[in-house]
Structures are given as C-alpha cells and as structure tokens.
C-alpha cells in the first residue's frame, strides 16, 4: 500500500468549544484555545504520551479566545499570540500564562483571525502579527512596538454598515528582510493582496462566497501558491508567480470540497463550507482541507509544464496547475474547522471540531509524493 492514509490516533473530548489548535515547535505538545460555556477563554496544553494525552497546563481567561499562533515566536521562547472576542491581541509565555508579555486592544469587537511570521526564520524580516476583525480592518503589529499597529488596512467607507467582516488573513512573499505581503479574505468573497513594503493594494478579486481560510504554501519564499477556501465548498489555488495586469493571477478551482465522500467515493449531501486549508510544512505541494461535514481531504498540486505563457501583446500570463485528491476521511459529525500539521514530524497533525473534540492524526506515505 503506497497510498496516503490518515488515521485518528487519539481523540480527546473537552468541556468547552475549541476554536484553534497549534503544535508547540520542537516538542510533542500542542495548545488548544477556545470558549467556556460561561463566555470565558480556555487555554490548555496537552502532551503526547504513549497513545494518550496528558494535560500539562491550563488557564482561564476573561474573554473567549478565537485564534492563536507561534509564528512570531523564537523557537525556544514559546510565545503564543492570541486574539479574543473583546478585540484584544495578547502574547503569552507558555511557562507563565497568568500575565501577557504583550497586550493591545487591536479591534472593536471580535478578532476573527490572526497570522504571525518572523520569529524563527532567518533573513525574512521582523516578527509581525496580522489580525483581522469583525470591524472590517486588517492590522499588522510588531511585538516590539507597543500600542500602535505598523500598518492599518481599513474599509474605504466611513459608514460602519458597509464594513465587511474580515474572516481570514495570511502573510507571504517574505523572502528577504524588506519584502512582505498580507492577503485578507472577507465575508462577501473579496480577496485583497497588500504589499506591506509600499503599503499599497497589489491585487484584488472576488470569489463570490465568504472566504474562510487563506494560506500561502510558504511564507518565507517568493510568492508561489495561495490556497483559498470558501463557504459552499469552494477551493481555489492561485499561482502567484506571474501577475497579469488585467486578469491577475491564474487559479484552479475545486467545487464541493466540503462534502463527505461515501464508501464508494460518491460525493453526497448539501454544499458544505471548507473551514480551513493547511499546507504540509515538509512538502509545500501537499495540503489539507477541513470540511463542514466533518471530513478532511488531502490534496496534491501538480504544476503545469510551463507556469506562464506570453500573450499576443507580449505580456506574461500565469498558467494554473491541477489538483489531485490523495485521500479523504470523515473524522466527525461536525465541521473540522481548525487543523495544524506538526512542524517537526511529517504526517503528525492535530485538529479541532465543533463537537468539542481534539484529535491527534497520523498520516502515512506522505514522503512518496
């Protein structure tokens, strides 16, 4: 058997709603954040121990926590950035979870999403955190600079009724100390790419459905691919190497990605949201999608023979590749909305779903692709 298979290794039922899970780099531990029934925030650290999960540490916070990341943390410092329902961005040292090492009121209302970069990668610029909020703004924060964001991307309209929820953000193109872009997705399907070096909008499009997740295949290289997942089962993969002045970036689209596959491979059920997309750290052409029907699919991106073509007017236009589904499995009856690959061990992953369960997953044969 050389096919990829994903196995649920450990299942742990929790007494609160899970919103995000992340592996702690260089360890066999992961952190789970979420919301207790009374509206307070939950932070728990679990460690793998011979087929079981040991609770290492837990703490309760004033407000429910929506998202977290280790991206701006040095490998040994274990600093976790979290965004909560009150609009606060905080960074906690995992060894001293009681008080934050950095805290700022980032948004009016809930922080829907955050991404971080620059902590452990050499020569890719400053450590920064980008947050997207219900107030429609996207802000970039430097933990070394208190109070004010280094960039604030806000709606053009002064009328608050016209502001769109920002649901997804992601860093990319950080291949040297000065270049960096941030991509943001909104509830109306708007997708915007902002160049942080020049602070200007580089590209925008609309994918016709609310964008739930965005991820570049690698943050610390020249823009290569961007995966975008949406409501109603949409998955787009953009080739980010060649930008056409009018047509933008080439993309390949998959429909019905959020639905379950039956035993004979037949897709069934209503259209279902694709909640998350995550690239494998050890191979940027493999990624997973987490669906609203509780399914996880593993995809492999195939590049075209030529990644660009020259049009009659002499301008270059990108050529999109194709997607192959390597594996599909249904893990839960509820949406798998958060997922994280282990950065250290290929195929090891953790995911969270709305049935208040975290699952440690093992995926085999990823090295064959």
Write the DSSP string, 337-365: EEEEE-SSSTTEEEEEETTTEEEEEEEE-
Q: Please, which residues bridge with residue 18 across strands? A: 34
What's the pLDDT at 157? 78
What pTM was computed for the model?
0.94
CA dist., res. 363 & res. 345, Å (int): 10
Q: Per residue of the chain (369 residues), what is the pLDDT tens digit? A: 458 999 999 999 999 999 999 999 999 999 999 999 999 999 999 999 988 999 999 999 999 999 999 988 887 788 999 999 999 999 999 999 999 999 999 999 999 999 999 766 666 778 999 999 999 999 999 998 888 999 999 887 777 777 899 999 999 999 988 899 999 999 999 999 999 999 999 999 999 999 999 999 999 899 999 999 999 889 999 999 999 999 999 999 988 786 766 655 566 666 789 999 999 999 999 999 998 889 999 999 999 999 999 988 889 999 999 999 999 999 999 999 999 999 999 999 999 999 999 999 999 999 888
- Cα angle vertex 25, ends 54, 33, to 5°? 55
Assigned CATH class of 5-157+165-364: mainly beta
Closest CA to 65 of 112, 97, 99, 22: 112
CA dist., res. 37 & res. 59, Å (int): 15
CA dist., res. 252 & res. 159, Å (int): 35
Other CB atoms within 10 A of residue 205 CB:
17
Closest CA to 196 of 156, 236, 169: 169
**Contact call for residues 326 and 299 (beta carbons, < 8 A):** yes
What's the pLDDT at 19? 97
**Contact call for residues 299 and 290 (beta carbons, < 8 A):** no
CA dist., res. 105 & res. 293, Å (int): 35
Domain map of the chain by residue range? Answer: 5-157+165-364
What's the pLDDT at 1? 40
| Tokens at 286, concatenated | 């493999």
- Which single residue is written with the structure tokens 């570049």? 216
The four Cα atoms 199, 203, 208, 209 give a dihedral, to 10 degrees, of -40
CA dist., res. 277 & res. 286, Å (int): 11
Residue 102 is classified by DSSP as: E
What's the pLDDT at 170? 96
């Amino acid at each position: 058997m050389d096919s990829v298979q994903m196995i649920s290794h450990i299942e742990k039922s929790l007494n609160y709603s899970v919103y995000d899970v992340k592996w702690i780099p260089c360890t066999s531990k992961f952190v789970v954040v979420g919301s207790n029934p009374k509206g307070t925030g939950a932070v728990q650290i679990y460690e793998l121990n011979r087929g079981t999960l040991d609770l290492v540490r837990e703490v309760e916070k004033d407000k429910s926590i929506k998202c977290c990341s280790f991206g701006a943390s040095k490998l040994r410092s274990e600093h976790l950035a979290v965004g909560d329902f009150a609009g606060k961005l905080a960074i906690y040292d995992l060894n001293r979870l009681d008080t934050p090492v950095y805290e700022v009121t980032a948004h009016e209302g809930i922080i829907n999403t955050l991404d971080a970069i620059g902590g452990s990668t050499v020569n890719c610029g400053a450590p920064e955190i980008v947050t997207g909020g219900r107030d429609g703004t996207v802000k970039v924060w430097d933990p070394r600079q208190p109070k004010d964001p280094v960039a604030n991307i806000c709606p053009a309209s002064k009328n608050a009724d016209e502001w769109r929820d920002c649901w997804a953000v992601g860093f990319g193109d950080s291949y040297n100390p000065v270049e960096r872009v941030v991509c943001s997705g909104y509830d109306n399907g708007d997708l915007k790419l902002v160049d942080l070096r020049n602070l200007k909008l580089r590209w925008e499009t609309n994918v016709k459905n609310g964008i739930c997740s965005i991820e570049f295949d690698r943050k610390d290289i020249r823009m290569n691919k961007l995966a975008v997942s949406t409501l109603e089962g949409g998955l787009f993969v953009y080739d980010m190497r060649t930008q056409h002045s009018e047509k933008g970036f080439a993309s390949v689209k998959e429909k019905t990605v959020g639905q379950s596959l039956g035993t004979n491979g037949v897709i069934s059920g209503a259209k279902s949201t694709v909640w998350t997309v995550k690239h494998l750290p050890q191979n940027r052409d493999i990624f997973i999608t987490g669906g609203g029907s509780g399914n996880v699919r593993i995809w492999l991106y195939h590049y075209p023979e030529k990644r660009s073509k020259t049009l009659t007017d002499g301008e270059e236009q990108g050529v999109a590749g194709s997607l192959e589904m390597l594996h599909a499995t249904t893990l839960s009856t509820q949406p798998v909305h958060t997922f994280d690959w282990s950065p250290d061990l290929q195929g090891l992953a953790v995911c969270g779903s709305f049935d208040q369960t975290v699952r440690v997953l093992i995926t085999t044969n990823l090295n064959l692709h």
